[in-house]
């Protein structure tokens, strides 16, 4: 590797069900297309070839000497920055890392190790639609999803194969990543990814100093279409799908809330998240 090759983590950050996996797939397809790979759409079950997730149990277990389901949250938090440094050190150049962490302090330690961070892509989606997708994802009711999205400091359980993540509430999550504009953090809306993919994904490529020509960009967008992702999942499944969910790539549309939410549910979400919704033009 050349001495001037960029190093560090590029975070692909979002609240759950906001387009993170779609963005990862686009980046894989774009890099494949620009490198001359004509094999077709990136396999959704092999995206770890160029991107990873920092909550996988194995590196934590190696550092702590026991299975993660026997570890305290304090123990996990104490080594999280080391795991992230290992990811950066082991990458041949930049490492794309998926996260649903809010950019907050966890047990007096940051969820994100900025010493090994080169930048971030943050995807935001209307919480009125997130609530619907999140309920299907978790196998729960929309009301329960709305409740979860409003919990400040919300954390996920520790599993056999992964450590916990710090989601916080939807509002905390969005504010933590976007309250201060930063030249190394590219913020994009899920709805713009749907409505104007060439402009939105093209600007993302430019932010990452990639320079696809028009045909390369269009092909990467086509290979990453929601229909393509759904087709792959139906044919061979998707390893990241929770057991409670029937499908990971369920709908991929905007404004579902207009016919799927009751007026009372809309009011609850707006009451809890109105300030951040207004910033991103999401208020009904």
Average pLDDT of the residues in 10-23: 92
Mean confidence (pLDDT) of the chain: 86
Q: What's the confidence (pLDDT) of residue 73?
A: 98
Q: Using CA atoms, how far apart are residues 186 and 118, in angstroms rounded to an integer?
A: 12
- At 132-180, the pLDDT tens digits run 989 987 889 999 999 999 999 999 999 988 999 999 999 999 999 999 8
Q: 44 pLDDT band (50/70/90 cuts)?
A: very low
Lowest mean pLDDT, pick from 124-138, 174-188, 247-261: 247-261
Q: Using CA atoms, how far apart are residues 240 and 246, in angstroms rounded to an integer?
A: 12
Lowest mean pLDDT, pick from 51-60, 195-204, 232-241: 232-241
**pLDDT above 80 for 249:** no
**pLDDT above 50 for 2:** no
Closest CA relative to residue 242, chosen from 252, 250, 251 = 250
Q: Using CA atoms, how far apart are residues 44 and 225, in angstroms rounded to an integer?
A: 12
**pLDDT above 50 for 277:** yes
Lowest mean pLDDT, pick from 126-130, 153-157, 228-232: 228-232
At 124, which helix (H) or strand (E)?
strand 117-124
| pTM of the predicted structure, to 2 decimals | 0.86
**pLDDT above 90 for 270:** yes
**pLDDT above 60 for 216:** yes
**pLDDT above 70 for 40:** no
Q: 230 pLDDT band (50/70/90 cuts)?
A: low
Q: What residues does each domain of the chain span?
A: 8-126+151-247
Burial 57-89 (b: 16+ CB within 10 A, else e): bebbbebbeeebeebeeebbbbbbbebbebbbe
- With a pLDDT cut of 70, the percent of the chain lying above it is 83
**pLDDT above 70 for 187:** yes
Q: Using CA atoms, how far apart are residues 15 and 17, in angstroms rounded to an integer?
A: 7
Looking at the structure, give the CATH architecture of the domain made up of residues 8-126+151-247.
3-Layer(aba) Sandwich (3.40)
Q: What's the confidence (pLDDT) of residue 226?
A: 66
**pLDDT above 50 for 1:** no
**pLDDT above 70 for 272:** yes
Residue 243's SS3 state is coil
The two tokens of residue 57 are: 């149990």
Average pLDDT of the residues in 260-273: 97
Contacts of range 245-248, beta carbons closer than 8 Å, 24 or more positions apart: 245/136, 245/137, 245/138, 245/139, 246/136, 247/136, 248/21, 248/137
The two tokens of residue 148 are: 């979860």
Q: 245 pLDDT band (50/70/90 cuts)?
A: very low
């Amino acid at each position: 590797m050349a001495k001037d090759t960029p190093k560090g983590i590029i975070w692909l950050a979002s609240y759950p069900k906001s387009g993170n996996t779609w963005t990862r797939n686009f980046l894989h397809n774009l890099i494949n297309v620009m490198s001359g790979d004509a094999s077709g759409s990136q396999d959704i079950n092999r995206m770890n070839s160029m991107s990873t997730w920092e909550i996988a149990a194995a590196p934590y277990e190696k550092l702590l000497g026991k299975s993660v389901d026997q570890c305290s949250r304090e123990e996990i938090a104490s080594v999280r920055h080391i795991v992230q440094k290992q990811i950066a050190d082991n990458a041949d150049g930049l490492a794309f890392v998926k996260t649903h962490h809010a950019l907050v302090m966890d047990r007096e330690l940051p969820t994100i190790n900025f010493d090994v961070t080169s930048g971030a892509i943050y995807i935001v989606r209307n919480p009125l639609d997130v609530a619907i997708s999140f309920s299907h994802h978790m196998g729960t009711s929309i009301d329960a999803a709305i409740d979860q999205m409003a919990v400040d400091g919300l954390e996920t359980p520790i599993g056999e194969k992964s450590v916990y993540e710090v989601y916080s509430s939807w509002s905390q999550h969005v504010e933590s990543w976007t309250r201060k504009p930063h030249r190394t953090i590219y913020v994009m809306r899920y709805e713009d990814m749907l409505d104007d993919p060439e402009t939105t994904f093209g600007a993302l490529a430019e932010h990452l100093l990639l320079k696809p020509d028009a045909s390369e960009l269009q092909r990467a967008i086509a290979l990453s279409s929601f229909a393509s992702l759904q087709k792959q999942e139906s044919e061979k499944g998707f390893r990241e799908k929770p057991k409670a969910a029937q499908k990971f790539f369920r709908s991929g549309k905007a404004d579902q809330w207009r016919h799927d939410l009751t007026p009372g549910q809309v009011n609850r979400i707006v009451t809890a998240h109105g300030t951040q919704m207004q910033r991103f033009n999401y208020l009904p």
